[in-house]
Every structure is written in structure tokens, then in C-alpha cells.
Amino acid sequence: MCGIVGYIGDKQAAEFLLDGLSKLEYRGYDSAGIAVYDGAKIRVEKSVGRLAALRDKIGSNMPKGTLGIGHTRWATHGRPSDRNAHPHTDCSGDFVIVHNGIIENYLALKEDLIEKGHDFKSETDTEVVAHLLEEVYNGDFVSSIREVLRRIEGSYSLVFMSRKHPDMLVCTKQDNPLVIGIGEGENFIASDIPAIISRTRRTYILNDGELAVVKKDSIQITNREGEAVTKKVFEVNWNAEAAEKGGYEHFMLKEIHEQPKAVRDTMSQRIAKDGKRIVMDELKWDADYLNSFNKIYIVACGTAYHAGLVGKFYIEKMARVLVEVDVASEFRYRNPIVDENTLLIVVSQSGETSDTLAALKESKRLGAKTLAITNVVGSSIAREADQVLYTWAGPEIAVASTKAYTTQLILFFMLSLYMAQIRGTQSPERVEALISRLKEIPAQVSETLSDVEPIKTFAKQYGFNEDVFYIGRALDYEVALEGALKLKEVSYIHAEAYAAGELKHGTLALIIEGVPVIALATQKSVYEKTLSNIKEVKARDAVVIGLAAAGDTELSKYVDHVITVPQTDELLIPLLTVVPLQLLAYYAAITRGCDVDKPRNLAKSVTVE
Ligand code: M6R
């Protein structure tokens, strides 16, 4: 996955390109490059490493010109290096391209092009596109690009620039995102809105197969067949500050602190004015349908998958429907039993995760009805699904997902209540009581966030341990999984979560003196059993940090430290317990000097398989 940008207008392109790429580094940051047309030739500058390395390389010698493209890379084909960084050119240097995705048939194309005399400079799949364009070029830029598109297979968003056609950029997409920002006498292209939001809020979001010819004063969009497409302008309803750090040292910390607002925004409009019912007007299915399916699959990746595990718990408990949860990369390869009586719920912050999108398409093909829970309006997943529920979390930039998780939990909780209303599986009184606890959550998340000092201390104390274990039962186990993922991805500490009752089936062998164990103990029905498991690890001299609901006077007798969160219904407590775990991961990463917002080897949204 990578970030791409393009500019055409009257201003210096390089300024926008570098600024835009800085907003897209969450998509990849192992190398970066820009190409700018100076009126005679195209100057390409690239560098391995972060965008900062490219800026250093360019120094004060900025490429001059008002037409340009740029790229920030997350390597798939070819290791990170100057040579493999984009933009890529053909032999003549007349055609320059940037690409996000994978050209699956690149090897066959490359062999053929080498035989025809083309000289390749990189190990990437992308470079074939530039040479192929050179090979098929017929004097008409757009029709030649269409010929290239007919010959390549795979997923892509691509921007093409040519010295022979300096009045336009051409861009297209298939299974990877691309937006066009509409300016006055200038236009912008980017993988995602944060790159253009400081310039314009008016955008076109391209669909698969569409191709846009972007000039300084016009944008023409056509479909695969070359027919004109009339698109609605999509007005972005958040501002540039939302995509900035706003005084926080890192996006991750900012986004953790945005959770009270994010969960409030996600729940508001979905609670009836009298506070007695959930309303989901955006779901166009009637009650009969919501009563009819006999199975739900929840499919997602990473943190969104962890939210799905909590979702299963909610839906089974409240609406009494069988739910299976699967990671998207496994789901479609195991011939899942999906038919017209199945509801498939996909969860994805970005709405662009390739495996999740593929699972969605496959389930539709098998006849399932589909519902997306996503944060990005107009994303591929939002457009592909039959129905969408948006989390209103605002842009999430840090690679480590935080506010997306809590808002996904909110939506799952509300959806389970909504289904319960329709299916009559919970009394109106119970629904009303849960809604009133739900409304307290934003303030309780704020309260949890205010108690940060003990967490900073633990992070300093245990931040240099090699291993950390997380244990819990029922919903505490699902949150433990998310806590462990957060810690490993940002601090690189080896962290594992276990269902507490599973410890004695093997993992207990790893518990030795001084190993930190984070034990979540908020679920009343399994509280005593969790205490027994805590005693098991204490007996092996682990250091135990217990996580409990306020008012718990028991846990402190068995653990070394206790963190408490406000009291709420135990179904809702994951929204609170995850917060100290996010903070612990963040401060452990700080203690270890890690690059929190850009963890090694990771990218924000994984648009390759
Ligand atoms: O955009 P998505 O929610 O589909 O992304 C799914 C995962 O890639 C994502 O949650 C990933 O696990 C995060 N880095 C976790 O913090």
C-alpha cells in the first residue's frame, strides 16, 4: 500500500506534492519520490526512507514547474531503495507514473518488454506500466493508457504524466482508492482526503474502472468503455485541523484523546429522542428481513477483527442470532457456507482493506446480504456493501487504530440492541436501561483518559520487558487481544493475549518471575474464575497489573497494581478498559523510543493481499 498525489495548476507543484505526501505517510513510508515537469523535461527526485529523507535530498533545489506527481511507498515488489521508489519512468523519460497496488501479471509483461528492448531500472511490478505505455503509445495519451489498462491485471490506482502532454494528468483506479480535489484553476489527485483537505473540500471519489483526465480548469471522467460519467461532488465535512496533530506529540495520542467525541458522534442520531429505542434509519432493510437471516458472519482484519469479536458477543447475547467471526484473509479461501440467508458484516476503518473487500465481493456473489461498518465515506467497501453504518470517528491517521475500534464497538452495541428490538429478544425496559448506560460512555471515556499518570509509570517500569501477557475471560479476553496487538505494533514488545482459562493448557510454561501479566477482571459471571487464573500466574511470580471496574475491592488483594475504570454495564466496559491499554502501548513505545505513528514494517491501510 502506498500514497499517491498529483497536481496541475498555476502554483509550484512540488510544494503541494511534498505537503500532500506528508499527509499520506500513514499509507507507507519506506521511500518517497516526486516528478515535476519544468516546461522542457521531467525532473524525478526519489529517496529511500521517510519523506524527510527526500526533503533533505532536494534541499533548497526544489523542482520547478506546475505539473507533477508524487508517491510514498510501502514495499511489496522490490525492497525499499532509491531505485525501487516511485515515480517510475519509461526508457525515454517521456512517461512517468505513480502506482498504489499490485500488477499481478507484471513478470510476463516484463519479459516481453525486455525482449522488445526495454531497459528496466527497478525490481518493482509498477515499472512495467511505464514501459508498456511507451510500447503502445499511439500519439493519443488517453487511448494509449486505455490500451495499457486492457493489458494489465491486478489492483491499482495510477496517475500518469507525460512530457508530450503537459496540459493534463490522467488517473484511474481498480480496487485502490483515489480522490480528485476540485480547485479554482488547479486540481489535485490523491489516495486520500487528508492530502488535499488544506486546499479544497470539494472532491470526486473515483469508482473502479473510471478514468479521469485532469486539466488545470477541467476534470473529465469516463468509465471503462470510455463513456462520460456524471459524478456528484462529494463535500468533505471535516476540516484540515482534524487531519493535523492539534498540539499532541503523535496522532496516536491525539486519536486516543478524541474518543469521547468520536463515540458521542457515532451514537448521536441513532438514539430516539425519548431515549428508549435505537433508530437506524440508514439501514434500508425492513424488519422482516432483519428477522429472517439465520446466520451472521463478521469479517475483518486486525483491530477491526477484534471489534468483530466483541460484536459477536453483543449480537448473540442481545439478538440471539448465531454469529461467526473470521479474519478476512482466511475467510474466502475456506469455501465458507454463505447463502441468501446469511448476513455478512464487514468491518473496516479505512474501507479499503483488500482482504476485507474481497471477502465482501465473494459473499455477495454467493448471495449473502452485506452490511459494512466503516469510517470512510465513499470508500470501496462502503460502495460495495448493500448497506453501510458509518462510525463518525473523523480521520484516523496513526497506523495503530484506536478511535476506530471504540466507535466500531459502539455501532455493534447499537446494532445488537436494534436487532433485539426487532426480534423481541430483549424487553423494552432492558433496552432503555442499556441506552442510558450507553449515553454515559463518552464522559466515562474522558474520565478514564484523565487518569494517565499510573499508566506512564507502568510503561516506564515494564517498557523494557521482552514479553507481556494479557489475560481475561469473556469480553475481557476480546479486549485483551486488542491490548496485546496495540502493544506489539507500536512498542515491538512481544505481547500475547490468552483466554485466562487456557493458560494452564500450555502458556503457563512461559510465566516466570517478573513477567508482566495484565489481567482484565471486569466480567462478573466469570470473576471468581479469573481470580483463580490470576493466582496461577502470581504463584509463578509474575508481576500482575489488574484492570477492574471502580468499586472492586477484591482484585487488589491478588495483584501487584490495579487500574480501575468507571462502573458501567459489563457489556459496555470494553469501551473503557481498552483505553488504559491503548495508553500503555503508547507510553511503552515512547519509553522505548519507537516511532509511534509509523511503526516499522506497517502501513495504515493494507490494500494488497
Ligand atoms: O482499515 P481497516 O480497519 O480495514 O484495517 C484493518 C487492519 O489493518 C488494522 O486494524 C490494523 O490491524 C491496525 N494497524 C491495528 O492497529
Instruction: Please state the atom number of ligand 1 nearest to the C-alpha of residue 405.
Output: 10
Cα of 496 vs centre of ligand 1, distance in Å, is 18
Average pLDDT value for residue range 162-167: 97
Q: What is the reported pLDDT for 102?
A: 87
282 C-beta neighbours (distance < 10 Å), count: 11
pLDDT band at 476 (very low <50, low <70, confident <90, very high): very high
- 481 ligand 1 Cβ < 6 A: no
Nearest CA to ligand 1 atom 7: 302
Greater pLDDT, 544 or 504: 544
Q: How much is the average pLDDT of 235-260?
A: 86
The residue written with cell numbers 468507571 in the block is 566
Beta bridge partners of 563: 547
Which residue owns the Cα nearest ligand 1 atom 9?
Answer: 302
- Looking at ligand 1, which residue's alpha carbon is closest to its atom 12? 302
Does residue 53 have a pLDDT over 80? yes
β-pairing, 169-174 vs 211-214, is antiparallel
CA of 348 to the centre of ligand 1 (A): 7
DSSP type of residue 498: E
Q: Is the CB of 301 under 6 A from ligand 1?
A: yes
CA of 246 to the centre of ligand 1 (A): 23
Contact 177 CB / ligand 1 (< 6 Å):
no
Q: Taking each helix axis from N to C terminus, what angle separates 302-319 and 403-423, rounded to the nearest 10 degrees?
A: 20
Whether 170 shows a pLDDT value over 90: the answer reads yes
Distance of alpha carbon 305 from alpha carbon 373, whole angstroms: 12
The band of 80, judged by pLDDT with boundaries at 50, 70 and 90, is confident
**Would you say the CB of residue 303 lies under 6 angstroms from ligand 1?**
yes
- Predicted confidence at residue 244, as pLDDT, reads 77
Average pLDDT (166-180) is: 94
Distance of CA 375 to the CA centre of its chain: 9
pLDDT in the model for residue 608: 66
CB of 190 closer than 6 angstroms to any ligand 1 atom: no
Q: How far is the CA of 399 from the centre of ligand 1 (A)?
A: 8
Using most ligand atoms within 8 A of CB, pick from 29, 350, 582 the residue to mutate for ligand 1: 350
φ, ψ of residue 34 to 5 degrees: the values are: -135, 155
- Does ligand 1 have an atom closer than 6 angstroms to the CB of 348? yes
Residue 481: pLDDT above 80?
yes
Provide long-range contacts, Cβ within 8 A and 24+ apart, for 329-333.
329/301, 329/355, 329/609, 331/297, 331/299, 331/355, 331/359, 331/362, 332/358, 332/359, 332/362
**Whether pLDDT at 242 is above 80:** no
**pLDDT for residue 167:** 97
Concatenated DSSP letters for 314-360? HHHHHH---EEEEEHHHHGGG-----TTEEEEEEESSS--HHHHHHH
Nearest atom, ligand 1, residue 353 CA: 4
How far does the centroid of ligand 1 lie from the alpha carbon of residue 372, in Å?
15
pLDDT tens per residue, range 456-475: 999 998 888 889 999 999 99
Question: What is the structure's pLDDT at 183?
Answer: 97
Q: What is the mean pLDDT of residues 600-608?
A: 76
Mutate to test the pocket of ligand 1, among 352, 486, 606 (most ligand atoms within 8 A of CB): 606
Does the CB atom of residue 350 touch ligand 1 within 6 A? yes
Dist. CA 483–CA 577, nearest whole Å = 9
417-429 pLDDT, tens digit per residue, is 999 999 999 999 9
Pairing of strands 387-390, 467-472: unpaired
What mean pLDDT is predicted for residues 355-373?
A: 95
Sorting pLDDT into bands at 50, 70 and 90, what band is 60?
very high
Which of 29, 401, 412, 600 should be mutated for ligand 1, with most atoms under 8 A from CB?
401
Query: Does 391 sit in the ligand 1 pocket, CB within 6 Å?
Result: no
Residue with the nearest Cα to atom 11 of ligand 1? Answer: 302
pLDDT at residue 482, as a whole number: 98
Say yes or no: CB of residue 606 within 6 Å of ligand 1: yes
* Whether the CB of 353 sits within 6 Å of ligand 1: yes
Mean predicted confidence (pLDDT) in 36-45? 96
Residue 184 Cα to ligand 1 midpoint, Å, equals: 35
State if residue 489 touches ligand 1 by the CB under 6 angstroms criterion: yes
List, in sequence order, the alpha helices (H) in 48-118: 51-58, 106-115
Q: Which atom of ligand 1 has the smallest separation from the CA of 306?
A: 10
Q: Which atom of ligand 1 is nearest to the CA of 349?
A: 3
Distance 540 CA to ligand 1 centre (A): 35
Note if 604 is an active site residue: yes
Count how many Cα atoms sit within 13 Å of the Cα of residue 592 in the half-sphere of its side chain. 23
Average pLDDT on 42-61 reads: 95
Adjacency order of strands within the sheet including 295-300: 323-327, 295-300, 342-348, 369-374, 387-390
Tell me: pLDDT of 565 over 70: yes
Ligand 1 atom at minimum distance from 605 CA: 1
Å from CA of 401 to ligand 1 middle: 6
Give the pLDDT mean for 10-31: 92
Closest approach atom of ligand 1 to CA 356: 4
**Atom number of ligand 1 nearest to Cα 604:** 14
pLDDT at 351: 93
Predicted confidence (pLDDT) at residue 312 exceeds the cutoff of 90: yes
Query: pLDDT-based confidence at 445, cuts 50/70/90?
Result: very high
Residue 30 has pLDDT above 90, yes or no: no
What is the predicted pLDDT for the residue at 602?
84
d(CA 122, CA 120) in angstroms, rounded, equals 6
Higher pLDDT, 307 or 269: 307
Q: How confident is the model at residue 385, as a pLDDT? A: 96
Is the Cβ atom of 359 under 6 angstroms away from ligand 1? no
- The finding on whether 399 has its CB within 6 A of some atom of ligand 1 is yes
User: How far apart, in whole angstroms, are the C-alpha atoms of residue 357 and residue 346?
Assistant: 8
Alpha helices in 451-600 (DSSP H): 453-462, 475-491, 527-538, 574-591
The CB of 158 under 6 Å from ligand 1? The reply is no
pLDDT, tens digit, 9 for 90 and up, residues 185-231: 999 999 999 999 999 999 999 999 999 999 999 999 999 899 999 99
Centroid of ligand 1 to alpha carbon of 127 (angstroms): 28
pLDDT at 593 over 70: yes
Q: How many A from CA of 470 to the centre of ligand 1?
A: 20
* Per-residue pLDDT band at 37 (split at 50, 70, 90): very high
Ligand 1 close to Cβ of residue 444 (< 6 A): no
- What is the model's pLDDT at position 497? 96
Average pLDDT of the chain is: 94
Give the distance (Å) from ligand 1 centre to CA of residue 349: 7
Whether a cis peptide bond, with omega within 30° of 0, leads into 87 is yes
pLDDT of the residue at 609? 67
Percent of the chain with pLDDT over 70: 99
